[in-house]
Structure 1
């Protein structure tokens, strides 16, 4: 069992789960160009409790989500330029935490703050598929 400290530390990296870390603008362009399956971008701050708990909510269903869509995470604090590039490319105003669902290279659905919940994302995917 994880300690409370580990919940708020930056040690829970995307590499430890189904998340693919977005670290460059080129990686954003690549995922936007992917037409094979939906793309999910999660804008995350390791400094924000709401963001941490929202990420944990999504991670309760990662096995199911990973079979349907590609999952990407951007650390909005350390990779602010990449987060800003996502805003530029999608036209969706930056917020954190935020989840963006892309289909055929275009935004299909997004949620932020308290609306970043597994159920909401699953409902959006059900509507899409």
Structure 2
């Protein structure tokens, strides 16, 4: 699975614009958390190449980019958690969950 890395503040505006065309998934990942690593691996194992047609996946290393993580939480009106997924459509977050609530089938049925 090819995640697009979020490393610059301007990417948040790009994500909002892209979400007008198709949903965007943001995965906020803590490289220091075993639950986050396990969750990311589960998503990667289940991801299918045709899923790229349904949504655009982004990943944020929140340890390296804490300010961007805070900016995302503020911009989309969600509480910061880790690990966390946020689904965005039409520039707004319409679903977010964290920890063991993150699962591939649930994400796919929401897009």
The question of a shared fold, defined as TM-score above 0.5 by the shorter chain, is answered with yes
The aligned residue for residue 5 of structure 1 is: none
Which shows bigger deviation, 86-95 or 53-62?
Answer: 53-62
Compared CA separation, residues 57 and 31, structure 1 to 2 (3 A):
same
Q: Does residue 18 of structure 1 match 2:2?
A: yes
Distance in 2 separating the partners of 1:104 and 1:40: 13
Q: Which has the higher contact order (CA 8 A, sep 6+)?
A: 2
- 5 Å matches for 1:1-129? 17-34=1-18, 35-59=20-44, 60-125=46-111
Stretches of structure 1 that go unaligned for 5 or more consecutive residues are: 1-16
Displacement of 1:18 after TM fit?
A: 1.4
Distance in 2 separating the partners of 1:72 and 1:30: 11
Stretches of structure 2 that go unaligned for 5 or more consecutive residues are: none
Q: Tell me the SS of whatever aligns to 1:37.
A: coil
Work out which of the two has the higher radius of gyration on C-alpha atoms and give 1 or 2.
Answer: 1
> Once superposed, what is the RMSD of the aligned Cα atoms?
1.1
User: TM-score normalised to the size of structure 2?
Assistant: 0.92
Q: Tell me the SS of whatever aligns to 1:24.
A: coil
- The number of equivalent residue pairs is 109
